[in-house]
Homo-oligomer: A and B are copies of this chain.
Amino acid sequence: MAGKRARRTLTRETTISDIAAAAGVSKATVSRVMNGVSTVNEEIAKRVRDVVVELGYSPSQTARSLSLGVSQTVGVLVPDLENPMFHQVLNGFNRAAARDGYRVLVADAFEDADREAEVAIDLRDRTDAVALFAPRMTRENLLELIPRISPVVVFNRTTGKNAGSVLIDYREGITLIARHLINLGHKKIAYLSGPTSSRSNWERQKGLDDLRAHEPDVDIIDVPCGHSFQDGYEAWSAFSHTGVSAAIAFNDVVALGLLGRLAEEGVSVPEDLSVAGFDDIPFASYSSPSLTTMTARLSGIGERVWQVLRAEMTDSPDREPVVFSPELVVRGTTKVKA
């Protein structure tokens, strides 16, 4: 067409205009057919559908999103996609979101707390809402970020009702597991602690503090450790001489790392040492001995995270935190103290 300005080159192969032209109808009619609006004459509709198939057309969801003001997409910010725990939560979240017709855009913050806000905003600029999985940023930054990216749900961080939240009650969890060991007669127990910056580690510490206050004859010692296999594997040398009869690991991954080391060292579990984990990752039940741990049905929690986000998107939610109390699963790695 004359008089038109030069346009950029990156453009769609087949657009709604092409279909309209080929079918001899207006774009509006094509749009109606594509969206199943019933007021279209069946004959015309069929003609349009034929052309669509013939030309292999499918609408640009980007254009659709811009026009509709919604993208049917939500973002998930994960602090570290390496961590199997988030895989499970993500899996449940994605499954539930898909059921409601939403797609999920994932972004990994690579454990860089300082970059989280920026990534979260970018995510939000492409989607209808975002889920923050266990954000590492300071509480101050979190509370500042939330209104900027609402609707938002936060997993495993409190939000003071500024956003929906889903929490795992680690404090109660560690209490349950420690009580289990105490009931088995263990008096000296090691806690292989997680990253110091981690809220969930902090909560576990609080739970153990409670216990120390109530059980003066039980000695719970803190072994700085970490969150990885390797950390658990290496932690042994830090407490092998303490004479503890039981160890609680920050999480299952750490517990399995420890288990691997113990097997190598000829320390038999649970005879010489009882070991407990946290999270109940799928492999926990299949290690040998199978791992005593706290279960939290992570993928179920993921589904719940989605539901809370959904509520943020639609209702005016009450924002009462949804808290999951982990349950003790006694398996093969813990037994009565010799």
Q: Which residues of A contact B (CB under 8 A)?
A: 8, 10-12, 56, 58-63, 65-66, 68-71, 73, 81-82, 84, 87, 90-91, 94-95, 98, 103-108, 110, 121-123, 125-126, 148, 229, 233, 256-257, 259-260, 263, 282-283, 285-290
Contact = CB atoms under 8 A, between A and B. Distances in A.
Contacts of A70: 10
A276 to B, nearest CB: 16
List of 9 A-B pairs having minimum Cβ-Cβ separation, nearest first: A10-B69, A263-B288, A61-B126, A260-B286, A61-B125, A283-B283, A256-B286, A87-B87, A81-B91
Nearest to A263: B288
Contact of A103 (B82, B107, B288): B107
Contacts of A289: 263
Copies of this chain per assembly? 2
A108 B98 contact: yes
A122 to B, nearest CB: 7
Nearest to A109: B98
A126 B103 contact: yes
Nearest to A91: B81
17 contacts: A8-B68, A58-B121, A60-B125, A62-B62, A62-B65, A62-B66, A62-B71, A71-B126, A73-B105, A81-B95, A91-B108, A98-B110, A103-B126, A229-B286, A256-B286, A259-B286, A260-B290
